[in-house]
Amino acid sequence: MSHRQAQTTPNASPGGRPEKSGLLFILSAPSGAGKSTLCSAVRNRFPDVMYSISFTTRAPREGECNGRHYFFIEKGEFEAGIEQGRWAEWARVHGNYYGTSMDTLNKGLRMGRDILLDIDVEGMRQIQEKFPDGITIFIMPPSLDILRRRLISRGTESPEAIAVRLKNAQKEMAQKDLYRHVIINDTLPEAIDELINLIETYRR
């Protein structure tokens, strides 16, 4: 059964939303915890919510479209953006840069658009420094053992790659208390309902 843990933090109340100012929902989860499925459910339920697309310097993979999966840019342009403060958060992973546009977030929120951001724990910490009112939500698997079984059942990765993902998942799960809300994805339909109800509460 899914479970939400509400944490007491400043501005945690769903009320008191400034009129015309958008809300920033920041969703994190270990690989295999169901984050992509949950994000898709939120986007289907709230088509007016803006989904933040990351920028990256890596080459597009087969089937990926610029502006839909990522914005693909050159390394030099990304590094210039670091110097200019263009990124709300950024990281370098396996030699490639990934980042979220500060301008996109600022413009959307000023226009009154609610924004969904799908990001890892380190990215969330960077975003929270700039957007302290962001509503942080962590998606937890019921246990590491269940997460291991889910990753194996996908059949897409080697045992070594799964071991790395599990090690990273353990580190991320240890930081769940940094988040305002925690949802345990035990039964997917219940976790979807819980997440949608939570977002609806804030949007009201």
Question: Which pLDDT tens digit goes with each residue over 19-49?
Answer: 568 999 999 999 889 898 999 999 999 999 9
Residue numbers of the domain that contains 139:
1-49+114-204
pLDDT in tens, 162-184: 898 899 899 999 999 999 999 99
The stretch 110-125 carries a mean pLDDT of 95
**Are 141 and 172 found together in one domain?**
yes
**Are 126 and 187 found together in one domain?**
yes
Rounded Cα distance, 57 and 76, in Å:
9
Structure tokens that stand for 158 in this block: 């080697």
Question: At which of 112, 134, 163 does a domain end?
Answer: 112
pLDDT in tens, 80-108: 999 999 999 999 987 899 999 999 999 99
Q: What is the rounded average pLDDT for all residues in the chain? A: 89
Question: At which of 65, 83, 112 does a domain end?
Answer: 112
At position 195, the amino acid (one-letter code) is L
Yes or no: say if 35 and 27 are a contact pair by the CB < 8 Å rule. yes
**Are 83 and 3 found together in one domain?**
no
φ, ψ for residue 111, nearest 5 deg: -80, -5
The percent of residues in the chain predicted with pLDDT above 90, rounded, is 71
CB atoms closer than 10 angstroms to residue 15:
7
pLDDT at residue number 154: 81
CATH number, domain with residue 88? 3.30.63.10
pLDDT at residue number 155: 77
* Confidence label for 157 from pLDDT (cuts 50, 70 and 90): confident
**Are 126 and 60 found together in one domain?**
no
The domain tally of the chain equals: 2
CB atoms closer than 10 angstroms to residue 198:
20
Question: At which of 74, 91, 112 does a domain end?
Answer: 112
Q: Which of 157, 180, 155, 181 minimizes the C-alpha distance to 168?
A: 157
Q: Which of 116, 130, 128 minimizes the C-alpha distance to 178?
A: 128
Rounded Cα distance, 54 and 142, in Å:
28
Bigger pLDDT: 124 or 151?
124
**Are 194 and 118 found together in one domain?**
yes
Element counts in the chain: helices (H) and strands (E): 7, 10
**Are 94 and 192 found together in one domain?**
no
Rounded Cα distance, 159 and 125, in Å:
30
CATH number, domain with residue 169? 3.40.50.300
Rounded Cα distance, 204 and 202, in Å:
5
pTM exceeds 0.85, yes or no? no
**Are 28 and 64 found together in one domain?**
no
Question: pLDDT at residue 1 above 60?
Answer: no
